[in-house]
Structure 1
Amino acid sequence: MALSDLRPVERNEEGIAAVLGILKQRFGERFQTGQAIREQHAHTTTYLPTQPPDGVAFPESTAEVQEIVRACAAHRVPVIAFGVGSSLEGHVNAPGGGISVDTSRMNRILAVNAEDLDCTVEPGVTREELNTYLRDTGLFFPIDPGANASLGGMAATRASGTNAVRYGTMREAVLSLTAVMADGEAVTTGKRAKKSAAGYDLTRLIVGSEGTLGIITALTLRLQGIPQAISGGVCPFPTLEAASQAVIATIQMGIPVARIELVNALQMRAMKTYSKLDFPESPCLFVEFHGSDAGVAEQAETFGMIAEENGGGPFLWTSVAEERSKLWKARHDAYWASLTLRPGAKGLSTDVCVPISRLAECVAETEADIAEMGLIAPIVGHAGDGNFHTLCLMDPDDPAEIAKVETFVARLNERAIRMDGTCTGEHGIGQGKAGFMRAEHGHGVDVMRQIKQALDPLGILNPGKTLPA
């Protein structure tokens, strides 16, 4: 994907001017057009250029989102949903201008049904806010993408994270949702029942659609019981391939690992410096087990034996919450730690996912590619489900360097697809990966385009994203 491949979206100047007037009159101070706030709502943590909206609305209810969408539909103006802006593929950019719908004020927890292990929330609630609220119930929401993302944004991008190997992704976590469609009508996609065979699965259609089919205004989510005991630790390996083989063996043996995260030697060097860790500067696995006291101890010991068989170890694990928290804080700060490897550089963070049996091969080829191209690009990943990330550090003002990184990313995505994997396990498509959709889905892209046309015939919902030109 090159910057030149970003889908252009034609501006509707007359329509935008009309909608700005309507929304300013209707929402007053809850509608902002200042340059700083507009740029903030197109902020992207990668190298893609900022494309700000023309105005930012702060609705407080589904009915207010409906008003905004109806005004935009009447004047054919783009509408871009916004959570906290932590996505990595340009999801919240506004290539044709338009209105950003910031859901941060829709942050109520509407219901917690502890007996049924579910809850209903508005989209602006963040995962950390929900877990703080749930703390005294003995329940928690397990999907953990690292950033303190909003739950609406997590559903829209089908987010995943460190716990996915045990608890799944947002695809499994969302029981039903309410979304405002392109005509301004609100649709609720299901009930709280744990399963249903009634009609099309509209929930799964909208989860992962990245705001291109509807704007999520409420979600009903599965919850989990807080484990009786948790153990975890770090295990070094001589090579990244050896660590990957240990992951494959752990999963194939059916050990119920909750998290198993892979970092290469370069990433470990950055994390040691940034987070003050005291581990070898070598490829490592960060591992965590959930269950009973006896169960997590047994799982840790079994994993230690697997690691040793693959040349790794010693596996140093602990059940002390403070020590585990330090490890996972370091893992979640890996992005910021990586930036210290080349001060002043901009990072292009990308991810792929492959079948677990191809993980070692894919990671090894990727490391060889990085070395051959002379890049600084640490690797970290949710290895338990075959998903890993690279962060390519580059000078954003050097066209030749950008071109080299884009070539590397294209080769990485093509490699994953060739191995029967996907160009993104959790980042989503947005603008950055639209160019790989045809290679992965073939004629399926045309079916997706038909769905988009049927549900959003005017093309106002987050245009220029997900589907290739």
Structure 2
Amino acid sequence: MGLRGEHHSHDTSRLAPHLPDAVVFPRTEEEVQAIVSACAAHGVPVVPFGAGSSMEGHTIPIRGGISLDTREMNRIVEIRPEDLLAVVQPGVTRKQLNVDLRETGLMFSVDPGADASIGGMASTRGSGTTSVRYGTMRENVLALRVVTPDGEAIQTGSRARKSSSGYDLTHLFVGSEGTLGVITELTVRLHPIPEAVSSAICSFPTVANAVEAVIEAVQYGIPVARVEFLDEVAIASTNNYSKLGLPVAPTLFFEFHGTEAWVKEQAQLVEEITKGHDAISFRWTADADERAKLWQARHDLYWATKAIIPGFELYTGDICVPISRLAESIVAARADIDASSLTGQIIGHVGDGNFHTAYLIDPNNPEHLKEADEMADRVVERALAVGGTASGEHGIGIAKLKFMRKEHGKAVDVMKKIKAALDPLGIMNPGKMGDAG
């Protein structure tokens, strides 16, 4: 199998690798059809693979079979500025698309941090730092072409901004994690690049102060483009890795989009709100270099965290709660870390109630893994108890399968019937979401 097979045996998660029996690199929809048809005829599993940036084990071929890598399906088929849409193959990455869009004055807004493939982002119903303003992949995918498990190619959706025609198959496949078919083309929404952009950094004495300030800003209706929370451990690691020199305290990163006057007004409104929550400092800037450094530091936080204890692995989590329950959820997660023997931090796209935990564990210490497992489970259990979800954006993959029944109840049985109807042979990404108990 060699290095290429090794690359397809894992993702960025801590989960155990499994080698595929073979790796294929189709370039066209017709080639995908031929591959899937051959696999269906012989009962061979098919596991779609994008950029490999998944954090929950989605692309690990736990039952072997074919790893279907879409990297060669990387063509931007069409850009239609007048309709604010683009048509792309699944292997196109968000950065690639945005480079091609620059001269049009438009952008593809979903920004998960990693340079993920757009097909993979749709498969996991991904989101990211800008979703509080522009929406997740669910809102930004208009239509798909999909090869179903019997090798047929279908079109879902249209280029229209809305439709009341038929079952919403587009949003059935968005978030299906490769368990219902292979996405071969996507029609995605585009947004105008804002006239002006500004950023702000605000530190607080406590986690609760920071999160409650976000809740008030959102409830006030300020259309922030990004609002990211970093606890004091995350800030310390960011300072060390990205040389920011920020106060080591719970901190919010804001970004505002609009006209020059409007972004200034948004920043002023948010600053007033933060004062009511005992903000330690509030620094606002429209300088492009300063903004780029700030958001690059945020995107580099994964590596900054790993650098805290070289040789340790990151155990990451992702949940989302109603925004009214966000403060108590983050405070409880932080208290759990503080009471443990592990080093950990909390970050989040807190404008929509989504936050991530990250624990550093010694891969050779089973007690570390046990403690991290227990803490991660408690984070999810608390989220479900307040009406939240086991995953806000990373998806289910392998790691979150055990929570499907508790979160969705009898609806899991409906999901299993959908899976059985579309994939009666069970060849599409087996052992994942379609097989939830």
Report the number of matched residues. Answer: 436
Determine if the alignment matches structure 1 residue 141 to structure 2 residue 108.
Answer: yes
Cα deviation code 1:414-458 (max 9, x no counterpart) = 010101000100000000000011111000111100100000000
Which of 272, 290, 293 aligns to 2:260? It is 293
The 2-side partners of 1:282 and 1:344 are apart by 26
Check conservation: 1:304, 1:314, Cα contact below 8 A: no
Determine if the alignment matches structure 1 residue 52 to structure 2 residue 19.
Answer: yes
Check conservation: 1:304, 1:313, Cα contact below 8 A: no
Determine if the alignment matches structure 1 residue 468 to structure 2 residue 418.
Answer: no
Q: Could you tell me which residue of structure 1 aligns to residue 213 of structure 2?
A: 246
Q: Could you tell me which residue of structure 2 aligns to residue 15 of structure 1?
A: none
* 1:174 CA drift (Å): 0.2
Q: Could you tell me which residue of structure 2 aligns to residue 337 of structure 1?
A: 304
Determine if the alignment matches structure 1 residue 39 to structure 2 residue 39.
Answer: no
Determine if the alignment matches structure 1 residue 225 to structure 2 residue 192.
Answer: yes
Paired-residue identity, % = 54
Q: Could you tell me which residue of structure 1 aligns to residue 133 of structure 2?
A: 166
Cα deviation code 1:31-54 (max 9, x no counterpart) = xxx231111012222211011211
Q: Could you tell me which residue of structure 2 aligns to residue 125 of structure 1?
A: 92
The 2-side partners of 1:246 and 1:233 are apart by 14
Q: Could you tell me which residue of structure 2 aligns to residue 347 of structure 1?
A: 314
1:193 partner SS: coil
2:126 partner SS: coil
2:414 partner SS: helix
Q: Could you tell me which residue of structure 1 aligns to residue 82 of structure 2?
A: 115
* 1:374 CA drift (Å): 2.4
Q: Could you tell me which residue of structure 2 aligns to residue 14 of structure 1?
A: none
Query: AA paired with 1:406?
Result: D
Q: Could you tell me which residue of structure 1 aligns to residue 355 of structure 2?
A: 388
Point out the more displaced range, 357-366 or 397-406: 397-406
1:119 partner SS: strand
Query: AA paired with 2:212?
Result: Q
Q: Could you tell me which residue of structure 1 aligns to residue 411 of structure 2?
A: 444
The 2-side partners of 1:167 and 1:177 are apart by 20
Check conservation: 1:233, 1:327, Cα contact below 8 A: no
The 2-side partners of 1:43 and 1:320 are apart by 40
TM-score, with structure 1 as normaliser: 0.92
Q: Could you tell me which residue of structure 2 aligns to residue 194 of structure 1?
A: 161
Check conservation: 2:342, 2:368, Cα contact below 8 A: no
Q: Could you tell me which residue of structure 1 aligns to residue 239 of structure 2?
A: 272
The 2-side partners of 1:161 and 1:438 are apart by 26
The 2-side partners of 1:313 and 1:103 are apart by 47
Q: Could you tell me which residue of structure 2 aligns to residue 435 of structure 1?
A: 402
The 1-side partners of 2:189 and 2:13 are apart by 31
The 2-side partners of 1:211 and 1:35 are apart by 24
Q: Could you tell me which residue of structure 2 aligns to residue 30 of structure 1?
A: none
1:389 partner SS: strand
Q: Could you tell me which residue of structure 1 aligns to residue 227 of structure 2?
A: 260
* 1:375 CA drift (Å): 2.1
Query: AA paired with 1:468?
Result: A
* 1:156 CA drift (Å): 0.3
Which of 24, 43, 52 aligns to 1:85? It is 52
Determine if the alignment matches structure 1 residue 153 to structure 2 residue 120.
Answer: yes
Structure 2 unmatched ranges of 5 or more: none
Determine if the alignment matches structure 1 residue 101 to structure 2 residue 75.
Answer: no
1:218 partner SS: strand
* 1:406 CA drift (Å): 0.6
Which of 259, 281, 284 aligns to 1:317? It is 284
The 2-side partners of 1:401 and 1:318 are apart by 41
The 1-side partners of 2:291 and 2:217 are apart by 20
Taking only aligned residues, the RMSD between alpha carbons, in angstroms, comes to: 0.8
Q: Could you tell me which residue of structure 2 aligns to residue 8 of structure 1?
A: none
1:77 partner SS: coil
The 2-side partners of 1:243 and 1:223 are apart by 32
Q: Could you tell me which residue of structure 2 aligns to residue 69 of structure 1?
A: 36
* 1:314 CA drift (Å): 2.0
2:225 partner SS: strand
* 1:348 CA drift (Å): 1.1
* 1:468 CA drift (Å): 2.4
* 1:233 CA drift (Å): 2.0
The 2-side partners of 1:347 and 1:468 are apart by 25
* 1:88 CA drift (Å): 0.3
The 2-side partners of 1:274 and 1:445 are apart by 43
1:189 partner SS: strand
The 2-side partners of 1:277 and 1:144 are apart by 22
The 2-side partners of 1:325 and 1:42 are apart by 34
* 1:370 CA drift (Å): 1.1
The 2-side partners of 1:442 and 1:374 are apart by 34
Cα deviation code 1:93-140 (max 9, x no counterpart) = 111100011111111111111011001000010000000000000100
The 2-side partners of 1:388 and 1:374 are apart by 21
Which of 324, 343, 347 aligns to 1:376? It is 343
Determine if the alignment matches structure 1 residue 357 to structure 2 residue 324.
Answer: yes
The 2-side partners of 1:130 and 1:260 are apart by 24
Query: AA paired with 2:283?
Result: L
Point out the more displaced range, 449-458 or 373-382: 373-382
1:249 partner SS: helix
1:188 partner SS: strand
